[in-house]
Amino acid sequence: MCKVISVANQKGGVGKTVTAVNLAVGLAREGKKVLAIDNDPQGSLTISLGYNEPDSLEYSLATVMMKIINDEPWNVEDGILHHSEGIDLMPGNIDLSGLEITLTGVMSRETVLREYVKEARKHYDAIILDCMPSLGMMTINALACADSVLIPCSVGYLPLKGLQQLIKTIGRVKRQLNPGLEIEGILLTMVDNRTNYAKDIIETVNDAYADKIRVFQFNIPMSVRAAETSAEGSSLYVYDPNGKASNAYMELVKEIIRKVD
């Protein structure tokens, strides 16, 4: 059975795309057939997987969603790119910005992406959606079609404050659109364990949420290598295989695998 995970946080710069890349590739390394979907008009996931000009692609997530909106024929395999580390990619680009506006006047506007994901589930063991840094209609679509939400949160005051709004939005989507939606957990990223500030934030997150939402007890350490992978078009497992961040992401993969299996 396919598991669909949306990687979401309306705060930018918290490690969503790095998490999506390394979760998707990590699952593939464990023998799963994985589709990564770039649900961000900035095309961050697409660029991070080595496709440096996403806006020049003829076919993207926006293309297939427009076909669904217009009730035109489409094929789930159309537009899929194949990455050397064993995952498939449905790319995203600037066309998603226009689609966000278009969706405001569409019937069942919150569930257009669900139509695509429903078909894709038949072909994959896991689907990972990298969401845009907002709580707009594209993010709502991603939440409406997912089984769970993984929330990367960098260790800082503002990302921590943003968690409240995101969790409320997830709750509304669960009540109104997707009763099966669960929170996979809060994953703390960019953690410098040497500082008291980081320790204080980690303690605050656990105190505020751990009784209701899973807070992963491992975290993703601050890593220059993790930031560099976006320019390399590869995962940390290739770029920095023995690094602390790549080892931490494999811990995440093992946790997810237990549920996928």
Q: What is the mean pLDDT of residues 48-71?
A: 96
What is the strand order of the sheet 126-131 is part of?
81-82, 88-90, 34-39, 126-131, 3-7, 148-154, 182-189
Residue 89, SS3?
strand
Per-residue pLDDT of 11-26, as tens digits, reads 888 999 999 999 999 9
Domains of the chain: residue spans and CATH: 3-256 (3.40.50.300)
* Whole-structure pTM value: 0.95
CA–CA distance, 46 with 58 (Å, rounded to integer): 14
Q: Are 177 and 125 in contact (CB under 8 A)?
A: no
Which two tokens mark 69? 């909106």
What pairing do the DSSP bridges indicate for beta strands 34-39 and 148-154? unpaired
* Residue 157 pLDDT > 80: no
Maximum distance among all Cα pairs of the chain, rounded to whole angstroms = 56
Task: Give the percent of the chain with pLDDT over 70.
Answer: 99
**Does position 48 have pLDDT exceeding 70, yes or no?**
yes
Which of 60-64, 128-132, 152-156 is least confident?
152-156
**Residue from 94, 107, 174, 179 nearest 140 by CA:** 174
137-145 vs 157-176: helix crossing angle, rounded to 10? 60
pLDDT digits (tens, 9 = 90+) for 132-154: 999 899 999 999 999 999 999 98
